[in-house]
Each structure stands twice: as structure tokens, then as C-alpha cells.
Amino acid sequence: MADIGPVPLAVLPTPLQELARLRQALGGPRLLVKRDDLTGLGLGGNKVRKLEYLVADARAQGAHTLITAGAPQSNHARQTAAAAARCGLGCVLVLGPIAPTSITGNLLLNTLFGARIRWAGARDPFAVMDEVAAEERAAGRVPYIIPYGGSNAVGAAGYLHAMGELKRQLEEQGETLNHIVVASGSGGTQAGMVVGARAYGLPTQILGVSIAQEAPALRRKVFDLALLTAAHHGVPFDLTPEAIDVNADYTGAGYGHMGAPEREAIRLVAATEGLLLDPVYTGRAMAGLIDLIRRGAFADDETVLFWHTGGAPALFAYAEALTAP
């Protein structure tokens, strides 16, 4: 595979664990979890795997400053800021739309990592990133723009190779796997998994639970990115868009709005497993998985893997909603 070698940022391999008490509470299939909340850097998360390849590409281009965008509690922004600090690079985060009244959660961590924050307001964040890049060039620095979620063909390599890691763990532990369930937002994690499953010969359904988009749009996004990733890394790829599994039944009130299903999922997993989910991504994806189990979507003799993509620092920004009756 023709990728640039990664910059080692993550603590790998991340653990593969059983969720026996959660299964006891829910019934249904055997449950495993892949702990990418434990990738280490900047309190961990799935974006660290992507950033290993994105930072390598930035270095190859002689970059001095990483620039990316996200919401105020963006996990991706926090991990990008941590990667920049670790590698001695500057970092500018274009967040939006406006600054919250308190600095907590990921936003607090961004400041500790030394990132500069530019609030986009009503402007297009991509236009603001381009503006920041022009400012960096005018100051004699080389900028490197990272898209939302690190989701491009370079970043998706992190999850292409994560599937090889998972396959080795399954073999070592004598496990078989029928389904993977993962939060799917910017699409790069699921796209990398889809390509990695082909590259490493891991035949399993990969279901992306949509965080915000309707199913047709998310399916197309994941497929297009998987196609680009496969071509970029020399992996044969013969899937059609219809082969990309997504479920958009759990988007609730939209991105960043935590409702009763997410609150129940976060509380249940914490109380049964001592495992923390986040309000925006893993809480929503787990709420979807819980509902699917209750609806009998999986057979009792199947094994379902929940891929934990991290995000726990955002919990602190949702304290009032999480403690509501």
C-alpha cells in the first residue's frame, strides 16, 4: 500500500474487550468494544489514527501550521491541537459559529494545547480556513488544511490499517465477528474500515450510525471517500454505493443536540461497564445499537463489535443535560 509512513502518535493496539454486563442488561447478541477512546494522545479518540497519516503528509510538504475546523466541542479539533503540540507545529482551529459562554470540555483542552482559535460566526468555515492559510503564507509559514474529521483519502488510511489490527486481535483471541457498529459523521472512519475490510480480508458488516445526515447523503459520502481511499492506497475495490450500510434513524434533533436516547445510552453503559461515551457521537451510535438490539436486529448467537471513537471530554460541556431527570 502506497501510503506515507505514519507519524507515531497513538497508543496501539487499542484494547478489544467484551461488554458482558451490558449484554446482560439488554439481552441479544454477544457484545465487544474496540477501545479507540484509548489511543492516548490528547485524551484519545479515533482522529489520532487519522492524524498519524495527516501529520506525516503535512511534514512531507514542509508544513509549519495545521488548520482545521469544527464545532466548539469538536473532538477532531482537540486531537488536531494535541497532535500539533506533540509535533512542534502551530495549530489554528476554525470553530463555529460563536464562542460559548464558558470554556469547558474540548474547548478548554484546545487552549492548553496552545491552539489559536478563530470563530467563524456566520461565515463558511472553509472560507475562513482558506483565509487563515493565506495569513500563514504571508507570515512566511506553510499551512496544511485538514478537512472536517480528518476525512480524506490520507486520513482514512488510519482506519484502513486499523482493520488489520482488529483482524490480528480477533485471531489471537479466537473471536469471530458478524457486525461492526460505528458512529459515522464526516465519513472517514467508516470509509477507511470498508476499504480495510477488503484489504485485510475481514468479512463483516460495517454499519455506520448517522450522527446528522440523512441516509442517502451519508451513504454517498462514505462510498465516494472509500473509492478515493482505495485508489490512493492501491486496494482493489468493487463495491457499489448500495453496499455501504448506514442507519439514519437516530439523528434526533440534529448534530450536537443530546436527547433522551443518548442520555439513556451514556448512563447505561457507564453504570454497567464503567465506560464513558460522548454526547454527540458514541452516545448516539450506542443509542442506535441499543434500539436495534431491542428490536431483534441481531441474532442471539451473533457477535457485534461497537467501535468506540472517543469523545468523553465533551461530557463536561453537557453536564446539565446529562443530569436532567
Taken in order of first residue, the domains within the chain and their CATH numbers are: 16-45+152-322 (3.40.50.1100), 47-150 (3.40.50.1100)
Out of 74, 151, 184, 210, pick the active-site residue.
Answer: 74
Q: Is 0.95 topped by the overall pTM?
A: yes
Check whether 324 has a pLDDT greater than 90. Answer: no
Which of these, 229, 253, 243, 258, lies nearest to 155 by C-alpha position?
A: 229
- pLDDT single digits (tens) 167-202: 999 999 999 999 999 999 999 999 999 999 999 999
The residue-averaged pLDDT of 127-145 equals: 98
The residue-averaged pLDDT of 117-127 equals: 97
- pLDDT single digits (tens) 28-87: 999 999 999 999 999 999 999 999 999 999 999 999 999 999 999 999 999 999 999 999
Question: Mean pLDDT for the chain?
Answer: 96
Question: Which pLDDT score, from 0 to 100, does residue 285 have?
Answer: 98
Question: Which pLDDT score, from 0 to 100, does residue 2 have?
Answer: 46
Residue 116, strand partner residues: 92
What residues have CB less than 8 Å from 131, skipping those under 6 apart? none
Give catalytic status of residue 74 as yes or no: yes
Which of these, 137, 135, 96, lies nearest to 117 by C-alpha position?
A: 96
Reported as a pLDDT band with limits 50, 70 and 90, residue 10 is very high
Strand-by-strand arrangement of the 90-95 sheet? 116-119, 90-95, 65-70, 143-145
Which of these, 226, 207, 204, 214, lies nearest to 254 by C-alpha position?
A: 214
CA–CA gap between residue 187 and residue 162 (Å, rounded) = 15
Question: Which pLDDT score, from 0 to 100, does residue 325 have?
Answer: 77
Report the run of H or E that residue 208 belongs to, with start and end.
strand 205-210
Check whether 1 has a pLDDT greater than 50. Answer: no
Which of these, 299, 304, 46, lies nearest to 175 by C-alpha position?
A: 304
